Amino acid sequence: MSTLADLDFLLVLIATCLGACIVIAFWEIEQFRERRRQQSRNAVRPIRRR
Interatomic CA distance for residues 18 and 20, integer angstroms = 5
Tens digits of residue pLDDT in 3-47: 889 999 999 999 999 999 999 999 999 999 999 988 887 776 666
Domain ranges of the chain: 1-39
The pTM of this model reads 0.67
